[in-house]
Amino acid sequence: MPYGAPPPHHGPPPQQHVVPIDATADVDAIHRACKGFGTDGRALISILGHRDGPTIDAIRAQYTTRIRRDLIDTLEKETSGNFETALVSTALGPIESEAYFAHRAIAGLGTKESMLTEAIMGKSNQQIAMLKSVYQKRYREPLESAVRGDLSGKTEQLFVMALTGNRMEDWVAVDPQIVSNDVRTLYAATQGRMGTDEIQVCSILTRANNAYICAYADSYKRQYAQDFVKMIRKEFSGHMEAALLYIVKGALNKTERDAELLEDSMAGIGTKDDLLISRLVRAHWDKGYFPMLKLKYAALYKRDLTKRVKGETSGDYGKMMVALTS
């Protein structure tokens, strides 16, 4: 270790000082855009489509203080359709937007399975705790109760496990002995028996951090000559298969997974607008990650993501989606 370098960190990351953000100019511009007859969609896009998470949170809080209204209520009143969904989910910020997506996935007849999976799976314990808190506050119902009311059987159990918030923290180092034991258990629960012990697999994968899942995949292939992702596809089906693949592929190659999901929302006849919105909004918050995702998308599909989105959307909604990719 170089002289003067800090000692290796084996615990939770230290708390960082948060500098207050003055969002006065943005708040006033949004107020002007929504005041009077008609709405200036271009002005809303120029602000909400180009701000990071902390700034969005500041805008929303200061809008309430200065204008004495809730920003989300204003956007829902002034806009409609996919444009409204895109603006509202962005204005909710990184955490509350996930609660919004989870609720949209559950509300009404049937379940939007992909949207629910992506709102819940693969999150840290802190993110899960915040998600449950904001969901309860916004929708007056525990998220676990909403999930239990919409899912059933072993898939319901999988989602309840994920919402327990019992995942290894990302800073927890991989223990080879634990990996060895878990991989033997995973094999015994899948290819090593008649039928599949789904709950055993779900229990291991929902509590593992990304480093452990990568170690499982590597060890499983070396010991049993089977690709881990292919094993899950073979042993599982339906919503549970999709949810486990979301977890595992997110650990093994997150940019590839997310690029494939973005393409899936635009491929074929018609655009899956709800999924395109949720996936773009979620990805755009991480300003360090999003450029890598765009590069991976270009490498996989030989086209520019912004141009692809522009070709699949239109109007103010399309302009907002393009802004999020910029």
User: Could you tell me if 200 and 258 lie in one domain?
Assistant: no
User: Could you tell me if 247 and 259 lie in one domain?
Assistant: no
Q: Which domain holds residue 127?
A: 94-164
Strand (E) or helix (H) holding 153: helix 153-164
User: Could you tell me if 183 and 237 lie in one domain?
Assistant: yes
| The amino acid at 212 | Y
User: Could you tell me if 211 and 279 lie in one domain?
Assistant: no
Predicted pLDDT of residue 18 = 63
Give pLDDT tens digits for 239-255.
999 999 999 999 999 99
User: Could you tell me if 180 and 225 lie in one domain?
Assistant: yes
184-192 long-range contacts, CB within 8 A, separation 24+: 186/216, 186/220, 187/220, 187/223, 187/224, 190/231, 190/235, 191/224, 191/226, 191/231, 191/235
pLDDT over 60 at 7, yes or no: no
Give pLDDT tens digits for 200-234.
999 999 999 999 999 999 999 999 999 999 999 99
Domain-embedded: residue 131? yes
User: Could you tell me if 126 and 140 lie in one domain?
Assistant: yes
Residues with Cβ within 8 Å of 24's Cβ and at least 6 positions away in sequence, in order, are: 62, 66
Predicted pLDDT of residue 1 = 35
What pTM was computed for the model? 0.90
* Number of structural domains found in the chain: 4
Predicted pLDDT of residue 268 = 86
User: Could you tell me if 180 and 158 lie in one domain?
Assistant: no
Identify the residue with better confidence: 127 or 17: 127
pLDDT over 80 at 303, yes or no: yes
Residue 143 to residue 135: CA distance in whole angstroms: 6
Q: How confident is the model at residue 36 (pLDDT cuts 50, 70, 90)?
A: confident
Q: How confident is the model at residue 294 (pLDDT cuts 50, 70, 90)?
A: very high
Q: How many CA atoms lie within 13 A of 27 on its CB side?
A: 20
Q: How confident is the model at residue 135 (pLDDT cuts 50, 70, 90)?
A: very high
Residue 166 to residue 162: CA distance in whole angstroms: 8
Crossing angle for the helix pair 198-207 and 153-164, to the nearest 10 degrees: 20
Is 173 in contact with 213 (CB distance < 8 Å)?
no
Report the sign of the C-alpha dihedral through residues 176, 178, 184, 189, in that order: negative
User: Could you tell me if 244 and 258 lie in one domain?
Assistant: no
Domain-embedded: residue 151? yes
Predicted pLDDT of residue 109 = 75
User: 174, exposed or middle or buried, with CB in 10 Å at 0-12, 13-18, 19+?
Assistant: middle
Domain boundary among 111, 136, 164: 164
User: Could you tell me if 280 and 296 lie in one domain?
Assistant: yes
Residue 65 belongs to domain with CATH number: 1.10.220.10
